[in-house]
Structure 1
Amino acid sequence: MKRNKRSNHETHTIDEPMELLPFLLSVMENRSRNSVKSILTRGQVSVDDDLTTKHNYQLKPGQTVMILKNKVAAKVNKMIGLSIIHEDKDIIVINKDAGLLSIASAKEKDLTAHSQLMDYVRIANPKNRIFVVHRLDRDTSGVMVFAKNEKVKRTLQDNWKRIVKERTYTAIVDGTVKKPEGTITSWLKESSTLVMYSSPKEGDGLRAVTHYQKQLSNKHFSLLKVNLETGRKNQIRVHMNDIGHPVVGDKKYGSNTNAIGRLGLHASVLAFEHPGTGKLLRFEADVPDSFMRKFK
């Protein structure tokens, strides 16, 4: 195991498979178990640049674990699990890591993109606020936009379909997708257990349309470029399962693999008309290395 210590963090390269919490306990022998668990829960640990708080995260040889040493280090790094791509007086656009909640849920009050951005804008003025425009699932990485006032939030949400010109995801899915491209159309409904599913019957649910193009494939996986014509809850995940190629790591929607240690879904591109200026903006977040390594 290689170790690299810097003033505000340390990194370790993994030599053998093991779960994250036992690994952290082994490299931080001078800390109590509770202290190490707190470091993990606070979001001070990332694996291959993806923040994770899961004690049982399965580490694999070659992965890099980064540990922020303390709260001071967190402040130096400003925000954990996200980076700001663009900011102006109306909006903030970020690249969110897998593992970070977009916003707190009723059951989970952990570190979120929303809470960190709220703290960030309040450095300048304690009255400043951040407003959620749309969300990414916790385990989905990529481009997100937040509004800096309620008027901009309403403008974006009320006109989302008209002003968004491109919404592209990259998905790594199980198996070899045969067709070079395709379109999936169904009507999505939610079960009593909060699982989305497709109905082929017209009007039986919310209409969902997903377009995909195959970028790379081998006998185990396929890398797809996915464009959303509609933006329904869990739409890509349901539709990939519908065609027999569930998103890697997506146990909820049919995958039996966890080949990259996370959900294989990334919001690559978001292009939209600026709510204030009307100018077309396009933001892109690079496809994670963990996706591409499966095709080398």
Structure 2
Amino acid sequence: MTYNSKQGMYTQYTVGEDAPLLEWLMANIQGMSRNKLKDILKGRGVKVNGKVVTQFDYPLLKGMTVSLSRSKKNDTFKNRFVKVVYEDRYLVVVEKNPGILSMAAGHKTLNVKAVLDDYFKTSRQRCTAHVVHRLDRDTSGLMVYAKDMETEMALERDWHNIVYDRRYVAVLSGEMVEDEGTIANWLKDNSAYITYSSPVDNGGKYAVTHFHVLDRTTEHSLVEFKLETGRKNQIRVHSADMGHPVCGDVKYGNGDDPIHRLCLHAYMLCFFHPVTRRRMEFETPIPAQFRMLFK
């Protein structure tokens, strides 16, 4: 059966025997190469029982309905604040722009969780986005959300072992002298919710940040940060501690705001998949606005 949807033309098939999705497509779809079928899968052109599936080894069962588009680009998720980088049945990895919260805070605030919940609903996925970690509203970059409670619990329970590399890049005010180093101290919030640091245990949380300078001018430094711990405002406080706060930081900065945004971007996220245990490695380019300051 062939039918039209707002995303294009689909041909519908009924599964006759259990098989992994790509294997089944290879055996049952005539005139298409393996690479073409993989491109259609990646391009969100395959639905199983009405739900978009991109997983090559998705287990098909006899009686299921498979809908196939002939196009490589289908059901493309578009939002000015959020880009889907990777998705499977258990989790979704997104890149968020500055200016959007990770989750709701108060009444009707723009947030990534709500954007994803709306996307899941429109793509007929019976799931909601479960928050696993957060980025500040004005920090951009990579985040992972679970699609069910079990995956969320698995990620939260063993976060520090599951995530094996997590890096940020920032534009700092002033010219850094050291090429690399480590900052370690205790971080604690005061009554006004400002995080401050202490060289001795102040009842707060121990925080360790490794830094490496990528580029510098007399006005600014482009710095990569690798987190050993993930504390609230860790990079922003540690940068200020070094005398080189993150540019555009109204909370811990010095007024240096060259591109009118907080110059902090989560550009690398590497973790073991909580269900399949596969290595998942994601990297986004350093924002062009950051780079422009060093040309």
Report the TM-score, using the length of structure 2 for normalisation: 0.72
Query: Which digits, 9 at most, give the CA deviation of each residue in 1:258-286, with x for residues without a partner?
Result: 11110010001000000110011111111
Once the two structures are superposed, what CA deviation does each residue of 1:164-187 show, in whole Å capped at 9, x if it has no partner?
A: 010000010000010000100000
User: 2:80 & 2:246 partners in 1: Cα distance?
Assistant: 26
Give the conservation status (yes or no) of the 8 Å contact 2:77–2:84: no
Give the aligned partner of residue 244 of structure 1. 243
Q: CA deviation at 1:203?
A: 5.7
Question: Secondary structure at 1:233's aligned position in 2?
Answer: coil
Identity of aligned residues (%): 43
* Equivalent residue, structure 2, for 1:210: 209
Counterpart code for 2:164:
K
CA distance in 2, matches of 1:255, 1:76: 41
4+ aligned runs moved over 4 Å, structure 1: none
1:99 aligned partner = 99
| Separation of aligned partners in 1, 2:221 and 2:108 | 35
Deviation digits for residues 90-111 of structure 1 (CA, Å, limit 9, x no counterpart): 01000100111111112x5322
Letter aligned with residue 84 of structure 2: I
Structure 2: gaps of 5 or more residues: 1-74
Partner of 1:222: 221
Deviates more, 1:168-177 or 1:75-84: 75-84
- One-letter identity of the residue aligned with 2:268: V
CA distance in 2, matches of 1:189, 1:253: 14
What is the match of residue 161 of structure 1?
Answer: 160
Amino acid at match of 2:261: R
Greater CA deviation, 246-255 or 175-184?
A: 246-255
1:89-136, Cα deviation, whole Å (9 max, x unpaired): 001000100111111112x53221110100111124374211011110
What's the CA shift for 1:256?
1.3
Residue 48 of structure 1: aligned partner: none
Say which SS state the counterpart of residue 252 (structure 1) adopts. coil
> What does residue 261 of structure 1 align with?
260
Query: Which residue in the other structure is 2:33 paired with?
Result: none
Partner of 2:88: 88
Distance 1:271 1:76, change over 3 A: closer
| Structure 1 length-normalised TM | 0.72
SS, match of residue 277 in structure 1: coil
* SS of alignment partner, residue 142 of structure 2: strand
Paired residue type of 2:90:
D
Matched residue, 1:57:
none
> 2-side partners of 1:183 and 1:95: how far apart?
27
CA distance in 1 between counterparts of 2:123 and 2:191 reads 44
Larger CA deviation: 172-181 vs 254-263? 254-263
Q: Amino acid of the residue matched to residue 207 of structure 2?
A: A
State the one-letter code of the partner of 2:251: K
Structure whose CA Rg is larger: 2
Residue 67 of structure 1 is matched in structure 2 by none
Equivalent position SS for 1:209: strand
For 2:132, give the aligned amino acid: V
Distance in 1 between the 2:274 and 2:125 partners? 24
**Alignment match, 1:56:** none
Aligned residues: 221
